[in-house]
Amino acid sequence: MTALALGGALTGLGIFLVGYGLFPPRAGLAARVLSIDARAATLLQPAPPPTRTDGVRGRLGVAAARMAAERGWTLASTRADLNVLGRTLEDHLAKKTLLGVAGLLLGPAMLLLLAALGVRLPLIIPAWLALGGAVLLFIAPDMDLRKQASQARREFRRVVAAYLDWVKSCLEGGRGAPEALPAAATVGGGWALTRIRDALRTAHLTGRPPWTALGQLGNELDISELKDLAASLQLVAEDGAKIRDTLATRATSLRQRELSEIEGIAAERTQGMLVAQIPLALGFLLFLLYPAITRILEIL
């Protein structure tokens, strides 16, 4: 009965895939409008990293990205994480798809291995194993991406705090805000300052205010500090003294947030060390009491 149900499910899936390939769904009006807005937004942004379309992985990633666009899936948080790390959506979707297929093949591989060893299991066990493996491996790249993006954003905030101090020094030297913001971005190196410098250069070429570019960069990377900074600079753009006070306040708040995050990480690691010491203490106590316990058991 289980084999019949599994065979029927696979047959239905095959019919669905054949029908989907012969009659692909048309993109709705909302998806078309979103694609037009996305193309218009990319005209004012730096060119994204090149996507390789050769090979199975490249073509699979392009097809997956096109399918997501046709259905109107914006994947805003995923795109922001990928932008922080300098990766493309096509490569990420191809990786997720390939890992999901590999997890789906885990059940049949286990079934064949056990059959070769002479062990027979109900088909429901490999089926659930294949489904669980496919789901876990499919979402694993998202979890890893979110973790790496969180670390990159934390590093970006530290750079922004130093950048604001440099901007404040340029303002105290007599420069205006439109000149101080790009000039401070050339002081140091690193990927964070490079992103800020490229955004400000693009704003200069397109004739936009620099704080608008910072706000757009904050939206692109999903960094709230940049968005708040851009909004604050836009409000006090006419007064240099207010700009210096705003930058000093923002730099102080960023450092306080960084300090609180560091203290939280240190407390978490300290707690983890205490938990790890409990098994060691129990093992050492058992080692000390083992001779006495064996003597008592011999007497009894």
pLDDT at 3 over 60: no
Residue 123 to residue 129: CA distance in whole angstroms: 10
Q: What is the mean pLDDT of residues 123-142?
A: 84
Q: What is the mean pLDDT of residues 275-294?
A: 82
Q: Give the pLDDT confidence score for residue 230 in this predicted structure.
A: 82
Instruction: Tell which wins on pLDDT, 265 or 2.
Output: 265
Count the neighbouring beta carbons within 10 Å of the beta carbon of residue 63: 14
Compute the Cα dihedral for 96, 101, 107, 112 and give only its sign.
negative
CA-to-CA separations, 52 to 68, 82, 96, 102, 146, in angstroms, rounded: 18, 16, 16, 22, 23
Q: What is the mean pLDDT of residues 89-112?
A: 84
pLDDT at 120 over 60: yes
Residue 219 to residue 43: CA distance in whole angstroms: 16
Residue 96 to residue 134: CA distance in whole angstroms: 10
Q: Give residue-wise pLDDT tens across range 45-90.
A: 444 455 555 567 778 888 888 888 877 778 888 888 898 888 888 8
Q: Return the minimum-mean-pLDDT range out of 32-41, 74-83, 106-115, 160-169.
A: 32-41
Average pLDDT of the chain, as a whole number: 76
Percent of the chain with pLDDT over 70: 79
Q: Give residue-wise pLDDT tens across range 7-50.
A: 555 565 556 554 555 455 555 555 455 555 544 444 344 444 55
Q: Give residue-wise pLDDT tens across range 205-247.
A: 888 888 888 888 888 888 887 888 888 777 766 555 567 777 7
Q: What is the mean pLDDT of residues 252-278?
A: 79
For the entire predicted model, the pTM comes to 0.66
Q: What is the mean pLDDT of residues 260-270?
A: 80
Token output for 22 = 């012969």
Q: What are the residue ranges spanned by the domains of the chain?
A: 26-40+53-74
